[in-house]
Amino acid sequence: MAIRQIVHLPEPILRKKAKPVTKFDKDLQVLIDDMFETMREAPGVGLAAPQINLPMQLAVVEYAEDEDQGQGAPLPKKKQYVLINPEIVKVSDEKVIGIEGCLSIPGLVGEVERYEAIQVKALNRHGAPVKIKVDGWMARIFQHEIDHLNGILFTDKAVRVWKPGEDKDKETPLD
């Protein structure tokens, strides 16, 4: 496995719609493993192929719902997801605003409105169809990564963007 270089704005690939994955070969399996390793090293909870300069409809997610438990509590097992050619097929009526950051936009965070729950249709790492229902923080991560595959960044949807450590109430939006 290898750490891949994460590209940052204004890299043009971050603004382009990625192409569907059609080959499920050994190279794809290596790439998926590399993406998980790169994401962990960064560190992050999700990574899309365009973020490592590859125009492919591929994203990986690794997160444990109760990751922020108190000290001394056993760490919950992280769930891993590989999303190939993903499509959001169902969304909740409820939307929530949450704070997001991005490995491709270091130094900024923002408040983004997302669906509270979604259902995604995708292919797994072996090309088999999967349907995944997620809610809460996991739904936010999935939507963020799927946006990357469509050339959309969190700053495009943010109601407010600021540098961490600044007083966000005094910050004006960046658009």
Instruction: Catalogue the active-site residues.
Output: 145
With 0-12 / 13-18 / 19 or more C-beta atoms within 10 angstroms meaning exposed / middle / buried, residue 119 is middle
Residues 6+ apart with CB under 8 A from 118: 88, 90, 91, 92, 133, 134, 135, 139, 142, 143
Secondary structure of the chain: what % helix, strand, coil (to 5)?
A: 25, 35, 45
| CB distance 119 to 174 below 8 Å | no
Distance of CA 90 to the CA centre of its chain: 18
